[in-house]
Amino acid sequence: MSTTLTAPRHTRALPSTRVRARRRRILSWIATHALAVAVAVMFLGPLVLVALTALMSDEQALTNNLWPESWQWSNFADVFARSHLLGWTLNTLMYAGLGTLFMLVSSVPVAYALARLRFRGRRLAFLLVVTTMMLPPQVVAVPVYLIWARAGLTDTLWPLILPMLLGDAFSIFLLRQFLITIPREYTDAARVDGCTDFRTLVRVIIPMARPAIAAVALFQFFYCWNDYYGPLLYTGINQDNWTLSLGLATFKAFHSVQWNLTMAATLLVTAPVLIVFFFAQKVFIEGVTLTGVKG
């Protein structure tokens, strides 16, 4: 009597080498980037919460339900209808745009002089520039305000824009640290060809210092965009000259129980900054990374 062995119909196939390699790569990536993913979730969590709350109704915004029951896209239109958001945006763009432009026009030549030109008192001048970074603006707020009041420029944004023509200490410091890393052979060759200091700055230094210039420009733009103390001090009760930061604080005070509208306004104010940084992050990181630390 003979017996025959039959194989089971359903056999579990062993995972192939390719599948095992893929799983190994996934696990390796998770182990390598676990901390980065956790930090990213920590930073993105509040932004996601703001976006979800901005799309809720008034009643749901006061509950513990985090997911919108009905998507209220009209909240963004209500923000424009109940505030001067468009005018505040134009004021902020004027403040940030002109402030950044004036800062570059005044700070780049000063940084070039401190990094490249040889003159008596150069180190003392650089020390004074660095010293001004340690002086809080609140210390000189009263005398500076009196100066602008006598000039008749209070209740406007010009007391915040015009000082940028005198340079910015932080920007001068960063630009100077970058410029001293550029080999002197380039500037020496330009002088041999007959270039003046101004032409050397425009034709040689500025094209090579574009990453650093872009970095300080973004720093200044973001500072002006988020500045609250300056507009609060100088624009006062003149609502027509308010910026987004000051207008957002006032909007929150008037709509303190309508968190959906407050979060919608917050999202509208924050979105331009995120968009600018998203498209300029490569040159921004490059400029900050290449900024030297030589003395």
Instruction: Kindly state the percentage of the chain with pLDDT values over 70.
Output: 91
Q: What is the pLDDT of residues 103-143, one digit of tens each?
A: 999 999 999 999 888 888 888 988 888 888 888 888 888 89
Confidence of residue 221 (pLDDT cuts 50, 70, 90): very high
Pairwise pLDDT comparison (128 vs 282), residue with the higher score = 128
Q: What is the pLDDT of residues 15-73, one digit of tens each?
A: 577 778 888 888 888 878 788 888 888 888 888 888 888 888 877 777 778 788 888 88
For all residues of the chain together, what is the average pLDDT? 83
Confidence of residue 159 (pLDDT cuts 50, 70, 90): very high
pLDDT, position 204: 86
Q: Are 95 and 243 in contact (CB under 8 A)?
A: yes
Geometric angle at alpha carbon 81, from 79 and 85, rounded to 5° = 60
Instruction: Kindly state the percentage of the chain with pLDDT values over 90.
Output: 19
Four-residue CA torsion sign, 70, 76, 80, 85: positive
Examine the pLDDT at 94 and tell me if it is beyond 90: yes
